[in-house]
Amino acid sequence: MTVQRPIFVQGIGWLLLLAPFFFLTYGQVNQFTAGREGIGSIVFDWERHIPFVPFTIIPYWSLDLLYGLSLFICTSLNEQRRLVGRLALASLIACAGFLLFPLRFTFVRPEISGLAGWLFGQLEQFDLPYNQSPSLHIILCWLLWRHFNRHLSGGWRALSTGWFLLIAVSVLTTWQHHAIDVLTGLAVGMLIDWLIPVQGKWRWQWAGGKHLTLAGRYFAGALVCLAGTLVTYWLWWPAIALLIVSLSYSVLGVGALQKDEKGRLTCAAWWLLLPWRAGMWLSMRLYTRRLPTISPLADGVSLGVYPRTPPAPRAVLDLTSEFPRSRAVREHAYQCVPLLDLVNPDPATLRLAVNTLEALRTAHGSVLVHCALGLSRSALVAAAWLLWHDPTLHVAHAVARVREARPQVVFTPEHLELLEQWKTSVTV
């Protein structure tokens, strides 16, 4: 009761602010666009075959009820504030889209009677056929679906997912939005989901050196894709993915890729980064054709590629940040310490990786340390573990042992410098 009372009271306050904020911003933008000239539409030919289903106005309207209810199922004030931030940002981004890229809905609804007709009448009093892309209804549908599902399980979660799917479909079957509005709304919903994570916070730190070089390359790729959107809208997707990766290398760190210690990607990161991950997957498949899958190192520790078949070691330390946990290791003891590719981790992260490796080895007897190719990140962590495991080793000897076990590994001058610093820290 002591926890729920402040949540309820604050929820009432937030609702009293959000409701007028939503109706004023959305309504004013709609009225403004109605007075503009030359408002066009983007409609695919196949959309003309979408049926008009009057009863779907009920799930369509139900989003308003779920919007209000969402504030009161939070379990902490912090969660509630993050939800408010997401909902407010949804309105702001959607209204900016309506002003910058105004579109008009083109289908004419037939006359409807009964409850459905009354509900459509209420909608038409407020909602003119503008405010189309990105669909605010779809943005909120994504955000609220994610919010409710975190508080549900089993059959209730399945029911929730089914209902929110019906809400998403209803924007088309009520002839309220075109398909382009749904796609852009979904993208914006995922971006907000990524931008305001459920837990944790962004750690802004401007990187330099190789981090910045790689960030620049990914940013250049994003710009190329943005230019390509003049040819096809679908290039917005890889553009967003490459921009997020660029931010992870430059200012946000590996946390921007949103992979946790259990190898799970957030739903938003899974979809937003899919074009980049697909490219990384193809690259991995290409370069691992001639590489050994696993290379034993010492005392139950092995290095290897991202496993596609169950490995012999009983535990797995995953160092990739680009891929979710491999299905091949679902039955293995597993921990993930995600690292960015081709750059050094910070000393604290390297220590976490080495400590995790040793804990898995001690508990399970054998452990596979893998990144994508088993050549860089896993080699660095394995060498650092050797220096910790045997303080008499020099960096050159540890590197030589890793190279002897897996000749294809790559140690850059930056790796060697980090290992020298690591050697000093573990022997003090």
Q: What is the pLDDT of residues 320-360, one digit of tens each?
A: 999 999 999 999 999 999 999 999 999 999 999 999 999 99
Please report, for residues 7, 149, 160, 268, 367, the alpha-carbon distance to residue 73 in angstroms, rounded to integers and kept in the order given: 9, 11, 14, 22, 42
Checking if the pLDDT of 1 tops 60, the result is no
* pLDDT value at residue 170: 97
Checking if the pLDDT of 200 tops 80, the result is no
Mean pLDDT of 180-193: 97
Where do the H-state alpha helices sit in 229-326?
236-247, 267-272, 274-287
Beta-carbon contacts of residue 232 (< 8 Å; ≥ 6 apart): none
pLDDT in tens, 106-157: 999 998 889 989 998 888 888 888 999 999 999 999 999 999 999 999 999 9
Catalytic residues: 371
Beta-carbon contacts of residue 401 (< 8 Å; ≥ 6 apart): 297, 298, 383, 386, 393
Q: How far apart are CA 169 and CA 154, in angstroms?
A: 23
List domains and CATH numbers for the chain.
4-32+41-195 (no CATH), 209-283 (no CATH), 291-427 (3.90.190.10)
pLDDT in tens, 356-386: 999 999 999 999 999 999 999 999 999 999 9
Query: Mean pLDDT score of the chain, rounded to an integer?
Result: 94
Contact of 109 with 60, CB cutoff 8 Å: no
Q: How far apart are CA 72 and CA 95, in angstroms?
A: 26
Q: In what order do the strands lie in the sheet with 301-304?
A: 294-298, 301-304, 367-370, 315-318, 333-336
Q: How far apart are CA 402 and CA 382, in angstroms?
A: 7
Q: How far apart are CA 412 and CA 342, in angstroms?
A: 9
Tell me the pLDDT band of 308, cut-offs 50, 70 and 90. Answer: very high
Task: Let me know if 180 is exposed, middle or buried by CB neighbors in 10 A (0-12, 13-18, 19+).
Answer: buried
How many CB atoms neighbour CB 259 within 10 A? 24
Of 99, 97, 103, 94, the residue nearest 38 (C-alpha): 103
Q: Helix, strand, coil: what percent of the chain each, to 5?
A: 60, 5, 30
Contact of 116 with 54, CB cutoff 8 Å: yes
pTM of the entire structure? 0.92
DSSP state of 128: -
